[in-house]
């Protein structure tokens, strides 16, 4: 079993160093992300593919010389600046992620406008049902966290109302209520023609967070 604690670390990075790393590694992830649709759609011939792969091998050789072992994890500093740059839905350094940039409204609603390229396809020409689930799991989890009950997904229920197109989409979620360790959250994904997928999730907070919340609320 992976040692979770060691991947949830205060690495004490100063803000300027975080900004430097974001400016250095963010564009690298964007370059890799941009290659994914070309891997699917390119009609390059044998010779062109050979030359393209030589460049990819050269880049790989440079990048792997010095690197962290294991997953990125969750890193933070004393200022409470959290980084989950390896996150599959929202990670700044992760080319698997669209990436989602999730915003919070004053009323606790979280939302994101995002773009899905052709690498997120499932049914011909449409978004994969599991990619919609990836987006919604992330956004609903963020709504639980913003609502004061951060936790792991307990259950997630998705109702697919109509096919989700690729391209520009919107997702949002809000916390319905908290009961002990459980946060109940709802949300949806919408395309240009309206809501495509609806979701309900229950996110389970660690016991110490539920205890802290109960203590805090008793003081009100």
From 18, 22, 52, 195, residue interacting with a second copy (rule: CB under 8 A): 52
Give the E-state strand segments of 100-193 in sequence order.
103-104, 110-116, 152-160, 167-179, 182-191
Closest CB to a second copy among 63 and 214? 63
| Site track for a second copy across 96-125, x = CB under 8 A | x---------------------xxxxxxxx
Interacting residues of 10 by C-beta distance below 8 A, sequence separation 6+: 75, 76, 77, 78
For residues 145 and 50, give the distance between their C-alpha atoms in angstroms, rounded to a whole number: 47
Closest CB to a second copy among 73 and 147? 73
For residues 190 and 161, give the distance between their C-alpha atoms in angstroms, rounded to a whole number: 10
Closest CB to a second copy among 55 and 215? 55
For residues 33 and 69, give the distance between their C-alpha atoms in angstroms, rounded to a whole number: 21
From 12, 14, 38, 217, residue interacting with a second copy (rule: CB under 8 A): 38
Closest CB to a second copy among 148 and 163? 163
Residue 19 binds to a second copy (criterion: CB under 8 A)? no
**Residue appearing with tokens 């979701």:** 199
Residue 66 binds to a second copy (criterion: CB under 8 A)? yes
β-pairing verdict for 194-204 and 182-191: antiparallel
Residue 24 binds to a second copy (criterion: CB under 8 A)? yes
Taking the complex as a whole, how short is the minimal distance between the CB of residue 199 and a second copy, in angstroms?
10
Taking the complex as a whole, how short is the minimal distance between the CB of residue 217 and a second copy, in angstroms?
26
Closest CB to a second copy among 38 and 214? 38
The first and second tokens of residue 143, run together, are 């709504």
Contacts (CB under 8 A) with a second copy, residues 135-164: 135-138, 141, 152-160, 163
The whole-angstrom distance between residue 180's C-alpha and the CA centroid of its chain comes to: 26
The first and second tokens of residue 201, run together, are 């999730």
Taking the complex as a whole, how short is the minimal distance between the CB of residue 137 and a second copy, in angstroms?
4
């Amino acid at each position: 079993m992976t040692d979770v604690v060691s991947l949830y670390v205060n690495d004490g990075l100063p803000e300027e160093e975080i900004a430097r790393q974001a400016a250095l590694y963010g564009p690298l992830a964007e370059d890799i992300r941009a290659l994914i649709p070309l891997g699917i759609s390119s009609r390059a011939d044998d010779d062109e593919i050979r030359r393209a792969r030589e460049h990819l091998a050269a880049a790989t050789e440079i990048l792997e010389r010095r690197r962290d072992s294991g997953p990125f994890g969750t890193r933070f500093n004393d200022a409470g600046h959290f980084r989950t740059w390896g996150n599959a839905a929202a990670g700044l350094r992760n080319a698997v992620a669209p990436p989602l940039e999730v915003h919070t409204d004053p009323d606790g609603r979280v939302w994101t406008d995002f773009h899905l390229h052709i690498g997120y396809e499932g049914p011909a020409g449409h978004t994969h049902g599991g990619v919609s689930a990836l987006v919604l799991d992330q956004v609903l989890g963020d709504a639980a966290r913003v609502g004061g009950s951060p936790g792991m997904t307990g259950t997630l229920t998705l109702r697919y109302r109509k096919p989700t197109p690729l391209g520009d989409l919107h997702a949002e979620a809000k916390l319905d209520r908290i009961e002990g360790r459980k946060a109940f959250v709802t949300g949806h994904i919408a395309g240009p023609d309206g809501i495509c997928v609806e979701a309900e999730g229950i996110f389970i907070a660690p016991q110490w967070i539920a205890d802290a919340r109960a203590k805090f609320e008793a003081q009100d």
